[in-house]
């Protein structure tokens, strides 16, 4: 079959890592008899440079027309890049937020997974992390503080800035269902995270999650306050299966959780709407400091492509093939610099490779 993949290479290391993912997709196509065509879409800093805005209406139309979108990363160094002298709505990140909203990508899945082969990269003590840390964050992505009204104005001569955090029951219900659905395919535990001792939006969140939970009697669920959750992710991350939470809390907790695994360069993510459509991207950022050096880890993007095959195209066999190839390459001892062991002694047993070589190795192992 033919699949039309929208490709947002983006900024920083984006183009390098996306090109490895395309290499892998092409190899999958050859092996399993599919064709992937790529529609290159500008977003972020590169779009600002070319068009003056981080995302044009035409770009949105192309993304909508695609069967799914594969993204690298967007944005640059906020201190030095001229993009950050522009007004907020014209900066690179504004493009991503606009796209999420335009495509109604309300369900953001962020796995945090400890690779047995990369255990030495995990910053937690061995007796705490043990083995088999494997959780999923289900983050609401089109509501809350990210999309509420905001304004900056003088009030009685004093500069005052306001953001608004709003959720309605329908927004909460649809993401809660997604959270419980995915828990059913995993270890059947949902931890819903909020700040219900302070926020009205969190109290509504808790109420609706409880209603949804009734439809999933096989799933154990609990409520946890966000401050406690930030502690528990360090103290005992293995207690979690699915964390279900709102947009801003999910932003913070998913980054914390991915760093707990020690290998954020390995972690993919999916942003889904109510159809089969999705946007797939690595959890890490655009890493402008190492862009163009050929050393970035392409695995998170390659695994994001695998997620795309699985969730948007129902190509499970093909997705398995990619995931297994990644594991084989790790087992064979190949590492990009970000996942090299810390200790000198262990470095001798692995081989450090660059971005393109890592892509090639994964293709060879498909």
Ligand X SMILES: CC(C)[C@H](C(=O)O)[C@@H](O)C(=O)O
Annotated binding site for Mg(2+), which residues?
227, 251, 255
Degrees to nearest 5, angle at CA 174 with 171 and 176: 100
Closest CA to 4 of 72, 67, 58: 67
> What DSSP string describes 233-296?
HHH-GGG-SEEEE-HHHHHHHHHHHHHHHT-GGG-EEEEE-SSS-EEEEESS---GGGTTSS-S
Q: What is residue 68's three-state secondary structure?
A: strand
Q: Does residue number 150 form part of the binding site for its own copies (CB under 8 A)? A: yes
Of 229-258, binders to ligand X (CB under 6 A) are 251
Q: Does residue number 109 form part of the binding site for ligand X (CB under 6 A)? A: no
**Cα–Cα distance measured from residue 94 to residue 76, given in angstroms and rounded to the nearest whole number:** 13
Residue from 259, 290, 340, 366 in contact with its own copies (CB under 8 A):
259
Of 82-141, binders to its own copies (CB under 8 A) are 88, 91, 93, 97, 122-128
* Active-site annotation holds for 255: yes
Q: Which residue has the tokens 């993304």?
A: 63
- Residue ranges for the known binding site are 100, 110, 139, 227, 251, 255, 285-297
Of 179-238, binders to its own copies (CB under 8 A) are 195-201, 203-205, 223, 226-228, 230-235
Q: Does residue number 163 form part of the binding site for ligand X (CB under 6 A)? A: no
**Cα–Cα distance measured from residue 47 to residue 9, given in angstroms and rounded to the nearest whole number:** 11
User: Per the residue annotation, which of 26, 255, 327, 328 is the catalytic one?
Assistant: 255
Residue from 1, 65, 198, 231 in contact with ligand X (CB under 6 A):
198
Q: Does residue number 67 form part of the binding site for its own copies (CB under 8 A)? A: no
Residue from 252, 340, 350, 356 in contact with its own copies (CB under 8 A):
252
The residue with its CB nearest to ligand X is 93
Q: Report yes or no: 321 and 28 within 8 Å, Cβ to Cβ.
A: yes
* Active-site annotation holds for 26: no
* Active-site annotation holds for 115: no
* Active-site annotation holds for 251: yes
Between helices 316-331 and 14-32, what is the axis angle to 10°?
120
Q: Does residue number 357 form part of the binding site for its own copies (CB under 8 A)? A: no
Q: Report yes or no: 267 and 283 within 8 Å, Cβ to Cβ.
A: yes
Between helices 14-32 and 299-311, what is the axis angle to 10°?
50
- Residue ranges for the known binding site for substrate are 100, 110, 139, 227
**Cα–Cα distance measured from residue 219 to residue 337, given in angstroms and rounded to the nearest whole number:** 40
Q: Which residues bind ligand X (CB under 6 A)?
A: 93, 96-97, 197-198, 227, 251
> What residues line the site for its own copies (CB under 8 A)?
75, 78-79, 88, 91, 93, 97, 122-128, 145-146, 148, 150-152, 155, 158-170, 195-201, 203-205, 223, 226-228, 230-235, 248-249, 251-256, 258-260, 264, 342-343
Catalytic residues, by residue number, are 146, 195, 227, 251, 255
């Amino acid at each position: 079959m033919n699949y039309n993949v929208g490709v947002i290479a983006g900024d920083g290391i984006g183009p390098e890592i996306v090109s490895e993912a395309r290499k892998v997709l092409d190899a999958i196509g050859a092996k399993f008899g599919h064709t992937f065509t790529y529609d290159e879409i500008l977003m972020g800093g590169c779009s600002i440079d070319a068009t003056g805005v981080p995302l044009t209406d035409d770009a949105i139309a192309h993304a909508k027309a695609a069967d799914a979108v594969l993204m690298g990363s967007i944005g640059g160094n906020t201190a030095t890049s001229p993009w950050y002298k522009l007004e907020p709505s014209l900066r690179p990140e504004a493009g991503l937020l606009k796209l999420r909203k335009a495509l109604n990508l309300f369900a953001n899945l962020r796995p945090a997974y400890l690779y047995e082969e990369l255990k030495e990269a995990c910053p937690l003590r061995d007796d705490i992390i043990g083995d088999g840390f494997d959780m999923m964050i289900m983050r609401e992505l089109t509501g809350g503080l990210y999309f509420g009204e905001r304004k900056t104005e003088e009030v009685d001569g004093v500069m005052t800035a306001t953001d608004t955090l709003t959720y309605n029951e329908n927004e909460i219900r649809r993401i809660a269902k997604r959270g419980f659905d995915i828990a059913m395919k995993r270890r059947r535990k949902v931890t819903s995270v909020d700040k219900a001792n302070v926020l009205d939006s969190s109290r509504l969140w808790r109420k609706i999650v409880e209603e949804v939970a009734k439809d999933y009697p096989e799933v154990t669920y609990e409520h946890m306050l966000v401050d406690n959750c930030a502690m528990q992710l360090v103290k005992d991350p293995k207690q979690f299966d699915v964390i279900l939470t709102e947009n801003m809390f999910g932003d913070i907790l998913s980054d914390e959780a991915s760093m707990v695994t020690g290998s954020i360069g390995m972690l993919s993510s999916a942003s889904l709407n109510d159809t089969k459509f999705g946007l797939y991207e690595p959890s890490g950022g655009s890493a402008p400091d190492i862009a163009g050096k050929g050393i970035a880890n392409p695995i998170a993007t390659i695994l994001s492509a695998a997620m795309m095959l699985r969730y948007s195209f129902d190509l499970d066999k093909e997705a398995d093939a990619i995931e297994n190839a990644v594991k084989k390459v790790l087992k064979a001892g190949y590492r990009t610099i970000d996942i090299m062991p810390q200790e000198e002694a262990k470095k001798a047993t692995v081989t450090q490779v660059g971005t393109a070589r890592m892509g090639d190795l994964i293709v060879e192992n498909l």
